[in-house]
Structure 1
Amino acid sequence: MRAPLSRKENSNILREIGTPKTVPVSEYRASDRQPLESSAAARVMGPVEEVYHALVTGTRDYIRKSGFSKALIGLSGGIDSALTATVAADALGKENVVGVTMPSRYSSEGSVSDSRELADNLGIECWVVPIEPAHLAFTDMLEPYFEGTTANVAEENVQARIRGNVLMTISNKFGWIVLTTGNKSEMAMGYATLYGDMAGGFAVIKDVPKTLVYDLCRWRNEKHGGRPGNKPPIPEAIINKPPSAELRPDQLDEDTLPPYEKLDPIVRAYVEEDYSYQEMVEMGHDPAAVRQVISFVDRNEYKRRQAPPGVKITPRAFGKDRRLPIVNRYRPV
């Protein structure tokens, strides 16, 4: 085998090593240059304000760069759709946002009235499209095949999928982008309906935990409300009502999920900080809630892979930040 060639030393380079050199880049000497004008330092924002501006900027950039001029949002009368609509109005202008409320047989009176009040406060257009005729058609169509079975989440999700179809049909007709309204807590737990409330082109708050959704709504109201002739955009009734999907009588999110103030810290510890079951229990979290979060987060990866993109505001968002197999048989607890 031939031996490697020895490196040829360059005597000029060796002499220059360690010797400081001055390289002229203009006719001015360094001492002759005028100092640059110092610009005012950027204002330091609080964490909630910073997230809100990130949502507005990210939403505006994505929609404009994608070639859309208007956005369409399903208004449920709940806090998630209220925040999404408010961010969209701030990002695009009130004239470029349309809200659609789609009441069903299980919708509360407030779901329509609160949505209309929100739209009035924001100055956006609001359409009311009742889905009961389509809901009846679906249940009648499937009745022969569902006979003898107990109604469950399948029948509940028919309503969400009808709403998704309504929004996507309007989008298809007018060329407006649909903004989905699910938050990070729901996406973590799979508390969303494929081809229903997950249907859309951009997910504004998909990386925003539910507890932060409340903080953002309160900040937006406090920051921009109270001026003469300027009502806070998000009605207090929306902020104060218990979270509910309203797909069955008297339904509440807490029927299925732990309370959000208990859920969000566990999701953060597991998804963003990689803590194990044992470590989270030692931190003081409820063991049953920890097991539920780990189980639900892991088995709903397939749903999240089908969700639209959204703004990243946490250290680790679902998607490119958290690369896991869609399905696997490993169970840590």
Structure 2
Amino acid sequence: MTDRLTVALAQLNPTVGDIAGNAALARKARADAAAEGADLLLLPELFLSGYQPEDLVLKPFFLDKLEEAASALAAETADGGPDVLLPTPWRGEGVKPRNAVLYLTGGRIETARFKHDLPNYGVFDEKRVFDAGPMPGPISIKGVRVGVPICEDIWTADVVECLDESGAEILLVPNGSPYEDGKEDVRIQLGVNRVRESGLPIAYLNQVGGQDELVYDGSSFVMNPDYSLAIQMPAFESAVSVAVFERTGDGWHCRPGDRVKPPERMESIYRAMTLGLRDYVRKNGFPGVILGMSGGIDSALSAAVAVDALGPQGVHCVMMPSPYTSQESLDDAAAACALLGVRLDEVNIGPAMKAFQDMLAPVFGDTESGVTEENIQSRSRGLTLMAISNKQGAMVLTTGNKSEMSTGYATLYGDMCGGYSVLKDIYKSDVFRLCEWRNEGLTRNDDPLLLGPAGPVMPQRIITKPPSAELKPDQKDQDSLPPYDVLDDILNCLIEREMSVAEIAARGHPPELVQRVWRMLDIAEYKRRQAPPGVKITARAFGRDRRYPITNGFRKIL
């Protein structure tokens, strides 16, 4: 009878569609596992294809290549090294493939287990591309009966109950669980629930890395039957930890191993933004990013995240003043760029404004100047940034936050123009908090994952001055919007919590204000459909998470 099983938990960063690159990562992890004397290597959910592969798995040629790569990896296990639990899409008996884990041992694919509970909510639509597998039984690995539920299979009790009743002794769970503010505690509680019900130790292995809007934060862990954490892996970075499971008189337990303290909330959000941007830029082959540097807080935070993600050499800032731009904004933009060590160019949009004014005069006639002329300024800036991007190849980084995107306080083809946004799911209230954290939290930067400078990255005045778009004289955001602490609370209630006007008003907000914000939120849906992707942070990010119709008569009840 085997009394020990040593498992290498490979918290890695695959790239969707890069089958050869992902297989190479698996080989490297297996070599590391062999060096640590591991019996088995566990990889994250759908590792060979990358997660989420979406409609790629409906392409037969893609499945052919996955089978070739999996067979090649299986053949390599004939060397006597660690066996492998390889998660991958796999052809099933039905029309669609299945979300699978292959057990590679002795030079072959010994068996497979399939995800039974396919998520179909929020950012997940696995029922669209996968067939569900049957209830899984354990796999005999080195004489140990190992249960391998896949991600969603442990979010309810049924699959683990089936594995327990089938004689499983250890649970190894490959996951593709995207980051969400506060989700670390949810996952731990999930582990507690399954351990309490089964009495089995559980290894929760999550992938790490950015994939379009989603960021996978890792934060993998091993929980023993007494609910203690034997292993806590780092957040937002690749790592391999070795879990040594031993049979004792009262069942299986994992020896204490690596335990890394999870980051606090602001650091966690900041790292998610940084990792999301870094992987979007690098995996899509951009040489860097370019952004408009206004001297305001949103562009300053976006620039800081970009520098921490890509290094100063990968960030190009452009100040684009108009006749309404204050000297204070010019000074603050220059000071922030100096602190970050990035290139700053200045392109005055005054001539573009005059050109549009002259060009449109026959159509506009003697109509009063207003929002149209303000939007022309924003679109002149968008055109400028896109021209530089086309010429130099860097991707335009947009700088709008969730409060603005919620209320439509943004200009299509203007400040919404670009390829990616790191603030898209960050409310303005948290923009201020993140700036304070970044200015104060890194007194010395010896973190290899943050490539920017230590210390402050923007003048304190950028954080404390009233926000303004500076599209007309003496303009302030709160001329058009409620105070951000009030606005963000109402928006959170409407978006994340789906509360009614009466429920929100009961929190102390005037009903007419709640109705006004609700209307702004609804009528801006057409803008959000045309916005670039951005890092998912909250439980209801715009795009794949929150899906509302553009043509929507429900707002007429207001």
* 1:168-207 correspondence runs (5 A): 168-207=386-425
**Percent identity (aligned):** 50
Tell me the distance in 2 between the aligned counterparts of 1:27 and 1:47: 42
For residue 277 of structure 1, what is the aligned residue in structure 2? 501
Post-superposition Cα deviations, 1:181-224, rounded to whole Å, max 9, x if no partner, equal 00000000000000000000001100000000000000001112
Tell me the distance in 2 between the aligned counterparts of 1:24 and 1:55: 41
Q: Which runs of 5+ in 2 are unaligned?
A: 1-137, 146-245, 446-452
1:48 aligns with 2:266: yes
| Residue 326 (structure 1) shift | 1.2
| Residue 38 (structure 1) shift | 3.9
Superposition RMSD in Å: 2.3
For residue 142 of structure 2, what is the aligned residue in structure 1? 26
CA contact (8 A) 2:324 2:470 kept: yes
Post-superposition Cα deviations, 1:122-173, rounded to whole Å, max 9, x if no partner, equal 0111111111111111111112222221111001111000000000000001
| Residue 48 (structure 1) shift | 1.1
Tell me the distance in 2 between the aligned counterparts of 1:205 and 1:121: 21
| Residue 28 (structure 1) shift | 9.2
Tell me the distance in 2 between the aligned counterparts of 1:154 and 1:307: 20
Q: Which amino acid aligns with 2:369?
A: A
DSSP 3-state at the match of 2:468: coil
| Residue 269 (structure 1) shift | 0.2
- Output the TM-score relative to the length of structure 2: 0.53
For residue 510 of structure 2, what is the aligned residue in structure 1? 286
For residue 315 of structure 1, what is the aligned residue in structure 2? 539
Tell which has more relative contact order, 1 or 2 (C-alpha 8 A, sep 6+). 1
CA contact (8 A) 1:266 1:280 kept: yes
* 1:43-192 correspondence runs (5 A): 43-192=261-410
Relative to structure 1, the CA distance from residue 37 to residue 81 in structure 2 (aligned partners, 3 Å threshold; closer, same or farther) is: same
Tell me the distance in 2 between the aligned counterparts of 1:69 and 1:89: 13
Tell me the distance in 2 between the aligned counterparts of 1:225 and 1:28: 48
Tell me the distance in 2 between the aligned counterparts of 1:80 and 1:48: 16
DSSP 3-state at the match of 2:397: strand
CA contact (8 A) 1:226 1:232 kept: no
| Residue 25 (structure 1) shift | 3.8
Post-superposition Cα deviations, 1:276-325, rounded to whole Å, max 9, x if no partner, equal 11111122222222011100000110000000000011111111111111
CA contact (8 A) 2:395 2:419 kept: yes
- Output the TM-score relative to the length of structure 1: 0.88
Tell me the distance in 2 between the aligned counterparts of 1:230 and 1:219: 12
Q: 2:521 aligns with which of 297, 310, 313?
A: 297
For residue 324 of structure 1, what is the aligned residue in structure 2? 548
CA contact (8 A) 2:312 2:342 kept: yes
Tell me the distance in 2 between the aligned counterparts of 1:251 and 1:27: 72
DSSP 3-state at the match of 1:274: coil
Between 1:285-294 and 1:70-79, the stretch displaced more is 285-294
CA contact (8 A) 2:398 2:421 kept: yes
1:232 aligns with 2:456: yes
Relative to structure 1, the CA distance from residue 141 to residue 219 in structure 2 (aligned partners, 3 Å threshold; closer, same or farther) is: same
Relative to structure 1, the CA distance from residue 187 to residue 100 in structure 2 (aligned partners, 3 Å threshold; closer, same or farther) is: same
CA contact (8 A) 2:290 2:395 kept: yes
Tell me the distance in 1 between the aligned counterparts of 2:329 and 2:258: 46
Relative to structure 1, the CA distance from residue 23 to residue 139 in structure 2 (aligned partners, 3 Å threshold; closer, same or farther) is: closer
Q: Which amino acid aligns with 2:294?
A: S
Between 1:258-267 and 1:63-72, the stretch displaced more is 63-72
Tell me the distance in 2 between the aligned counterparts of 1:175 and 1:196: 19
1:208 aligns with 2:324: no
| Residue 113 (structure 1) shift | 1.2
Between 1:269-278 and 1:138-147, the stretch displaced more is 138-147
More helix by share: 1
Q: Which amino acid aligns with 2:484?
A: Y
1:244 aligns with 2:468: yes
1:253 aligns with 2:465: no
Tell me the distance in 2 between the aligned counterparts of 1:118 and 1:231: 12
Tell me the distance in 2 between the aligned counterparts of 1:180 and 1:287: 33
Q: Which runs of 5+ in 1 are unaligned?
A: 1-21
Relative to structure 1, the CA distance from residue 53 to residue 145 in structure 2 (aligned partners, 3 Å threshold; closer, same or farther) is: same
CA contact (8 A) 2:418 2:532 kept: yes
CA contact (8 A) 1:263 1:289 kept: no
Post-superposition Cα deviations, 1:71-109, rounded to whole Å, max 9, x if no partner, equal 101001000000000000000011110000000000011
CA contact (8 A) 1:305 1:319 kept: yes
Relative to structure 1, the CA distance from residue 36 to residue 163 in structure 2 (aligned partners, 3 Å threshold; closer, same or farther) is: same
Between 1:147-156 and 1:175-184, the stretch displaced more is 147-156
DSSP 3-state at the match of 1:330: helix
Tell me the distance in 1 between the aligned counterparts of 2:397 and 2:465: 23
Q: What is the number of residues matched between the two proteins?
A: 311
DSSP 3-state at the match of 1:319: coil
CA contact (8 A) 1:94 1:122 kept: yes
Post-superposition Cα deviations, 1:25-44, rounded to whole Å, max 9, x if no partner, equal 43799759xx9764322212
CA contact (8 A) 2:440 2:455 kept: no
Tell me the distance in 1 between the aligned counterparts of 2:313 and 2:391: 18
Tell me the distance in 2 between the aligned counterparts of 1:233 and 1:245: 21
Tell me the distance in 1 between the aligned counterparts of 2:260 and 2:444: 26
